[in-house]
Amino acid sequence: MGYMHEGTWHIGDAGRRETRFVRVPARFRDWIGVSGLYEPGPNRYHLYVSKACPWASRTVIVRKLKKLESVVPMTTLHSDVDNGWAFGSSGDPVNGMNYIYELYRAADSGYSGRATIPVLWDTKTSTIVNNESADIIVMLNDAFDEWADTSIDLYPQALAAEIDSVNESVYQGLNDAVYRAGFSTDQAAYEEAVTTVFQTMEVLEQRLSTRRYLIGERMTLADIRLFTTAIRFDVVYYGHFKCNVRHLWDYPNLWGWLRDMYQAHGISETVDFSQIKQHYYAMQRWLNPSGVVPVGPHIDYLAPHARHSSGQK
State whether 170 and 259 are in the same domain: yes
| pLDDT at site 71 | 98
Q: Please indicate, yes or no, whether residues 66 and 40 belong to a single structural domain of this protein.
A: yes
Tell me, yes or no, whether 302 and 208 share the same domain.
yes
In the predicted structure, residue 269 carries a pLDDT above the cut 80:
yes
Residue 190 annotated in active site? no
Residue 109 lies in a domain: yes
Q: Are residues 56 and 24 in the same domain?
A: yes
Q: Is the pLDDT of residue 226 over 60?
A: yes
Percentage with pLDDT > 70 across the chain: 96
246 lies in a domain? yes
If you average pLDDT over every residue of the chain, what do you get?
93
| HSE-CB for 251 with a 13 A CA cutoff | 25
Domain identity same for 306 and 167: yes
Angle of CA points 92, 95, 99, to nearest 5°: 55
**CA distance between the termini of the chain:** 45
Residue 311 pLDDT level (bands cut at 50, 70, 90): very low
Same domain, 8 and 70: yes
Q: Which domain holds residue 11?
A: 2-142
- Are 180 and 98 in the same domain? no
pLDDT of residue 80: 76
Do 86 and 15 share a structural domain?
A: yes
Boundary (domain end) residue, out of 142, 165, 195:
142
Indicate whether 29 and 129 sit together in one domain: yes
Active site residue 243: no
Give the C-alpha separation, 232 to 281, whole Å: 12
Q: Where a domain ends, among 78, 108, 142?
A: 142
Q: Pairing state of beta strands 45-49 and 74-76?
A: parallel
Q: Is residue 281 part of a domain?
A: no
For residue 81, name the pLDDT band (cuts at 50, 70, 90). Answer: confident
Closest CA to 191 of 65, 150, 199: 199
pLDDT in tens, 124-158: 999 999 999 999 999 999 999 999 999 999 999 99
Residues 229 and 175 sit within 8 Å (Cβ to Cβ):
yes
Same structural domain, 259 and 236: yes
Structural domain contains residue 195: yes
Q: What is the pLDDT of residue 187?
A: 96
The residue from 3, 45, 53, 251 that is catalytic is 53
pLDDT in tens, 159-213: 999 999 999 999 999 999 999 999 999 999 999 999 999 999 999 999 999 999 9
Determine, yes or no, domain membership for 285: no
Domain endpoint, select from 142, 166, 189: 142
- CATH code of residue 64: 3.40.30.10
Is 14 a residue whose pLDDT tops 60? no
Q: Which residue has the higher pLDDT, 269 or 24?
A: 269
pLDDT per residue as tens digits for the range 227-249: 999 999 999 999 999 999 999 99
Q: Which amino acid is at 271?
A: V
With CA atoms as reference, report the closest residue to 139 among 44, 264, 216, 227.
Answer: 44
Q: Which among 65, 77, 63, 72 has a CA at the least distance from the CA of 45?
A: 72
In a domain, 280, yes or no: no
118 lies in the same domain as 196: no
Distance, in Å, from the CA atom of 44 to the CA atom of 249, rounded to the nearest integer, reads 42
Give the count of domains, the chain. 2
- Distance between CA atoms of residues 296 and 77, nearest Å: 24
For the beta carbon of residue 201, count every other beta carbon within 10 angstroms.
21
Q: Are residues 304 and 172 in the same domain?
A: yes
**What is the structure's pLDDT at 309?**
59
Say which CATH number the domain at 308 has. 1.20.1050.10
Radius of gyration of the chain (CA): 19
